[in-house]
Structure 1
Amino acid sequence: MEKSSFQISYDSLVEIVVKMIKDGEIGNRFSHLRKDRVELIINKISSYGWYIDDFSKESKISSSKCLKLIYSNFPEKLDDYLSDYYNKKMIQIENDLKSSYPKRNAIITEAFYVHKNKLFHSSICLFITIIDGICDDVLDAKFFKNVKDLPEIKVKLEEKKMKYSDFLLSPIKNKGAINGWEKELNKYPIRLNRHEIIHGKDINYGNEINSLKIVSMLSYVNFVLTHFD
C-alpha cells in the first residue's frame, strides 16, 4: 500500500529529528575537545604511522604528549609511549573487532595470534587486509583504494555530514606513509607503506612496532566506522 503524503511527511520529520538527536549526542561526546587542535595533532601523529582510537574524556592517550614528543624530535619515545598503550589494549581491540565483524572472526583471530607469537610479517599483512575488509563491510568502500588520490572511504564518510565529528577524519583526508605513492615516501618521517609491503619491495617491515602501528590504524578505522554508522 502506498504511503499518504501525510505519512511521508511524518516519516521525513522523524528522520530529521532522529538525526538531530544523534548529532547532539555526538556533539556532547566531543564537546571537551578543541577540534582544530585535535585535527592537527592526529594528522601529525598519523604521519609517524600511529593512529588514536579513543577521544573520550577517559582516554588514556594524551595527544598533547604525543605532539610534544614529535616536536621535541623524540620519535623513539613516541613509539614507546604508544606501543605501551596498544600492547595493553590488544585483547580489547581483538574482542571489539570480533563483536563488530563476526564473519571475519577467523582472520581476526589468526592476525592477533601471529602478532602475539612475534610473526610480524604475517600479522602486518593480515591486519592490512582486515582494514580494507571492515571498510567494505560497513561502507562498501575500501581504505587502500584511492579515489582522487585519497581513500575511497573518505567520500562515503563525508556523505554522512557528521558536522560535530568530521574533524576526526583528518588522518583519512590527508594521505600518510601507509597509503602514499612510492615516489612520495621520502617526504614522510617513516617508511611503512602498504604498496611496498604487499608487492614485496619492503622486506624489513616485520617488527613489533610496525605491527602495533597497523593495529592502531585498524582500531582507529573501526572507531570511525562505528562512530559514523
Structure 2
Amino acid sequence: MDSSPDNNDLPPFFSEEQLRQVGKNLKHLSQMIGAAVRRITEFRDEWSAIAPVIGQAIVRAAEELPKKMREAYVNLAKHGWYVDQGMSLSDPPRLGREIAEPAHAANAEAELQEHFRSNLDRIENEICEQFPERAHIIRAAFEAHRLGQYVLSVPVFLAQADGICFERCQAYYFMREKRGSTRPGTAVHASSDEHDFWTAIILLPLGMTGPLNVSKNGRDPEFSGLNRHTVMHGDSLDYGVEVNSLKAISFLNYVSQALTRMTWSERISQAKSKLP
C-alpha cells in the first residue's frame, strides 16, 4: 500500500495572498509591455515620416561641406592663417566665413590666435615627429616664441616651412612657379591629379598667392601684414609680434600636415608592400 502523503495534504508553496500579488504584478507587467509596444509602433511611424527629411539633410550637408571647406582654406590663407587638422570639422568653415566679414573678423582673429596659442605643445611635437632631422631647429624656434623673442622665431618658422615644401614636393612656396608666373612653386604639386579629393582641397593654399608670399609688385602700398620677403630681406622692422609668430606657426603646422598626406601612387605602393 502506498504510504506517500496525498498532494492535497502538502503545505502550499505560495499563500493565497502571495498568489493574488503575483497576479497583480503580472497584470501590471503586461500593461507595461503593451505600452512599450505601442510606443515603439508610434516611434516607428514617426521615424518613417522624418527619416527622408533627415536623409536629405545629411546628403545636403555632405554636398555642401567640400565647398565650405574650399572656401575656408582659401579665405583663411588670404588672411595669413592656415587650417590645423586638430580643429573640429565645423571650425574652419565658420572661421573662414567670419574672418572675411568685417563685423566678425576681429573675433575670428582672436579665436585663431587662441587656438594656436593653446596648442603649441601638440603642434611642436607633431612637427618634430614628422621631421626629426629638423627637430633641433624647430624646437629652438618654439622656445624663442615662448620667451617672446618673435623676431627670432618668425624667420625660422617660415624658413623651415619652405624647407619642408622643397623636401616633400621639390618646390618652394616662397618662389614663383616660373618666371612671369604669379603662382608659387608648390602650385604644381598642389594641383596634381595624384591627390585624393580631400587632399586636393587641403592643398589649395599651396597653389595660391597670399599675404605670406605675395611679391613686392603685388603688395599694396599700405600692406602691413606678415610677409616672408619683407622679413627675410630686412624690409620689415616691426614683424616681431606674437600674432605674426602664431601665423608663422600655423603655416609651418599646415605644411607639415598637408605635405605628409600620401598620394594615390604612394598609397598603392604601400598596399602592395603589405601583400604576401
**CA contact 1:45–1:66 (8 Å) conserved in 2:** yes
Deviation, structure 1 residue 42:
1.7
Name the CA shift for 1:110/1:205 in 2 (closer, same or farther; >3 Å). same
**CA contact 2:98–2:108 (8 Å) conserved in 1:** no
**CA contact 1:79–1:209 (8 Å) conserved in 2:** no
User: 1:15-34 to 2 correspondence within 5 Å?
Assistant: 34=65
Counterpart of 1:99 (choices 112, 122, 129) is 129
Q: Distance in 2 between matches of 1:60 and 1:109?
A: 30
Q: What's the CA shift string for 1:6-62, capped at 9, x where partnerless?
A: xxxxxxxxxxxxxxxxxxxxxxxxx68711221122211111111112277x44734
Deviation, structure 1 residue 157:
3.5
Residue 145 of structure 2: aligned partner: 115
Q: Distance in 2 between matches of 1:93 and 1:130?
A: 14
Single out whichever of 133-142 and 85-94 deviates more from structure 2.
133-142
Deviation, structure 1 residue 64:
1.2
Residue 158 of structure 1: aligned partner: 191
Residue 41 of structure 1: aligned partner: 72
Q: Distance in 2 between matches of 1:145 and 1:98?
A: 25
Residue 12 of structure 1: aligned partner: none
Deviation, structure 1 residue 159:
2.9
Counterpart of 1:50 (choices 77, 81, 99) is 81
Where structure 1 has 5 or more consecutive residues not aligned to the other structure, the ranges are 1-30
Residues 1:179 and 2:210 are matched in the alignment: no
Deviation, structure 1 residue 66:
4.1
**CA contact 2:190–2:207 (8 Å) conserved in 1:** no
The structure with higher relative contact order (CA 8 Å, sep 6+) is 1
Larger radius of gyration between Structure 1 and Structure 2 = 2
Counterpart of 1:211 (choices 228, 236, 245) is 245
Q: Distance in 2 between matches of 1:110 and 1:194?
A: 19
Single out whichever of 213-222 and 131-140 deviates more from structure 2.
131-140
Counterpart of 1:224 (choices 258, 272, 275) is 258
Q: What's the CA shift string for 1:133-188, capped at 9, x where partnerless?
A: 11222222222121132222221243352241212222222210110012222299
Residues 1:73 and 2:103 are matched in the alignment: yes
Q: Distance in 1 between matches of 2:223 and 2:63?
A: 30
Single out whichever of 201-210 and 136-145 deviates more from structure 2.
136-145
Residue 175 of structure 2: aligned partner: 145
Give the residue type in structure 1 aligned to 2:250: S
Deviation, structure 1 residue 225:
0.4
**CA contact 2:151–2:241 (8 Å) conserved in 1:** yes
Instruction: State the Cα RMSD in Å.
Output: 2.3
**CA contact 1:48–1:188 (8 Å) conserved in 2:** no
Give the residue type in structure 2 aligned to 1:52: V
Work out the number of aligned pairs and report it. 198
Q: Distance in 2 between matches of 1:203 and 1:60?
A: 37
User: TM-score, normalising length from structure 1?
Assistant: 0.78
Where structure 2 has 5 or more consecutive residues not aligned to the other structure, the ranges are 1-61, 264-276
User: TM-score, normalising length from structure 2?
Assistant: 0.65
Name the CA shift for 1:152/1:197 in 2 (closer, same or farther; >3 Å). same
Residues 1:191 and 2:225 are matched in the alignment: yes
Name the CA shift for 1:33/1:110 in 2 (closer, same or farther; >3 Å). farther
Give the residue type in structure 2 aligned to 1:156: H
Q: Distance in 2 between matches of 1:95 and 1:187?
A: 38
